[in-house]
Amino acid sequence: MRAIIVDDEKLAREELARLIKDVPGVSLVGEASNGMEALLIVSQEQPDLVFLDVEMPGMSGFEFLEKLPAPHPAIIFTTAYEEFALKAFRVDAIDYLLKPIDPDLLAKAVSKMEQFSPHAGSRRPASASDGSHLKPEDRVFVRDGTRCWFIKVGSIRLLESEGNYTRLHIGNDKPLVHGALKAFQARLDPTVFFRVNRTQIVNLANVERVALGLNEELVAHLSDGMQVTMSRRMAQAFREQWGF
């Protein structure tokens, strides 16, 4: 995999280049200190992946992308600013890494390249059919109105259907995000997240115990004190999947 770094700070480029050397399958073929240099390098080297800073003098990372002819390389943003995450995912970035770059998160971001076609510049949707489920350590961007979160998937305790929207239970927050529960279920790892009934999916890591209810149904007791009742069909599926 051929990659380039675009960052106006020399020390940042050197540090990222050092980290990239430890990522299997990635070959660094160029560095640029601004958008104009980067456009030239992309034209000459035809990289598969660009590690792109956001705030740069003369031309921002997003302005660079606007000038980049399609089809363009996949993009991983590397920046010190959290506030551009929403915009980054709107342009189909693979990932959004905050400086100082964590080596493990860098490796995981690069591993997502398998969800991209070479030089496509757009992500193939993850689905249960191709096995590309989100893992608990993967990070996702969540927005509810003007409030935004950049969270690990594993931090979601519970998902609840509200029509064409889904409510996520994350820490003390409960953002309501667009998308039916079925669509979220298709992207989540079924060994971690279990759909207990028509309207709820639980993170099994947050289930403290499962008890019998008044009508012999199964009731999952979550770590935050909530209780969710499994439908008869899903209770049977739960026994078959997790019974000892």
Per-residue pLDDT, 151? 85
- Res 200: pLDDT: 94
Handedness of CA 134, 203, 185, 176 (dihedral sign): negative
* pLDDT value, residue 49: 93
**pLDDT number for residue 148:** 81
Q: Which long-range contacts (CB under 8 A, 24 or more apart) does 82-85 make?
A: 82/150, 84/54, 85/141, 85/148, 85/150
**In order of start, what are the domains of the chain with their CATH numbers?**
2-115 (3.40.50.2300), 134-242 (2.40.50.1020)
Q: What is the pLDDT of residue 244?
A: 63
pTM tops 0.85: no
* Whole-Å CA distances, 19 to 13, 50, 71, 155: 10, 15, 27, 27
Q: pLDDT per position in the chain (244 positions), as tens?
A: 899 999 999 999 999 999 999 998 899 999 999 999 999 999 888 898 999 999 999 999 999 999 887 678 889 999 998 888 878 877 778 889 999 999 999 998 898 775 554 443 444 433 333 446 888 888 887 888 778 888 889 999 999 999 888 999 998 899 998 888 888 888 899 899 999 999 999 999 999 999 987 776 799 999 888 999 998 888 888 888 877 6
Q: What is the pLDDT of residue 242?
A: 78
User: What is the pLDDT, as a whole number, of residue 127?
Assistant: 38
What is the structure's pLDDT at 154?
Answer: 93
